[in-house]
Chain A
């Protein structure tokens, strides 16, 4: 059965990202290396991104925190980059053999993360349903409900996304584009805005 699917965007997605003096992109080749080995590399890459972008910030105090500004940026970037990469891997359609990429753009008071991967149409449709319920729910109630779901092991809780939104105040946008060459595959772009 052929389904028709057109480009869809949700949330705080920017079609054009503002010009930034500092940006960095990493591409991860689709690879035959065991997932366990690659998984470790995604973690290392997230830590590298944290160190790289933290270096642009001074180590001055943050009000009501024992963690200085540089270390706060480092830890927040590392957590968010790691979660975004983990999700990109989890939801990727490995059969299409296309890379995952992550770009971080630095601004004076914000970092924008952009991650792309390719996913099957059915994965995308499930995910879009989740996004719909996320953006139409009370964030606090929704988080508690999903945390309980994670705790009971009853289905996909998407706790990673919810921790980034609730605990780190990241704002999200998503774009799903059909691939002309493969009707059952979507090009997925996730954008996260982090105030720093």
Chain B
């Protein structure tokens, strides 16, 4: 599974149970984020440990943050998945906004490098 455009790419690596994000993601509202959400939900299937690697995602708009919130709540509803967000402490939006997702799921792990 992969979504690739000039501005961003998103792909799933089943071996490491990781979805990777790269580039600039600023889609127009939640509707446009549906294909991304669909990829995430499909990738999540049957994983006990799941990772989102955002380290090369330089820009995410607030609709994208809402999409991540939506995904975190889906994982929370499963009840048996350990979710880890891998971020970069060299990308400002990640240092500012990722920690808020723990408000939705306190067991969410954040790994910054």
Contact = CB atoms under 8 A, between A and B. Distances in A.
B96 A36 contact: no
Interface residues of B, number: 26
Interface residues of A, number: 32
Contacts of A78: 59
Interface string A153-180: 1000101100100111000000000000
A147 B104 contact: yes
B61 A160 contact: yes
A35 interface: yes
Interface residues of A: mostly helix, strand, loop or mixed? helix
Contacts of A152: 70, 73
B90 A66 contact: yes
* Most chain B Cβ neighbours within 10 Å, of A39, A65, A78, A147: A147
Contacts of B20: none
A67 B90 contact: yes
B11 interface: no
A67 B92 contact: yes
Interface string B69-113: 110110000000000000001111101110010011000000000
Interface of A: 35-36, 39, 43, 65-67, 71-72, 75-76, 78-79, 82-83, 86, 90, 143-144, 147-148, 150-153, 157, 159-160, 163, 166-168
- Minimum-distance CB pairs A-B, first 7: A160-B62, A75-B92, A151-B69, A167-B96, A150-B66, A151-B73, A159-B62
Given A67-B91, A147-B104, A153-B30, 15 more contacts: A43-B24, A67-B90, A67-B92, A72-B92, A78-B59, A143-B103, A147-B103, A148-B104, A151-B70, A152-B70, A157-B66, A159-B65, A159-B66, A163-B100, A167-B100
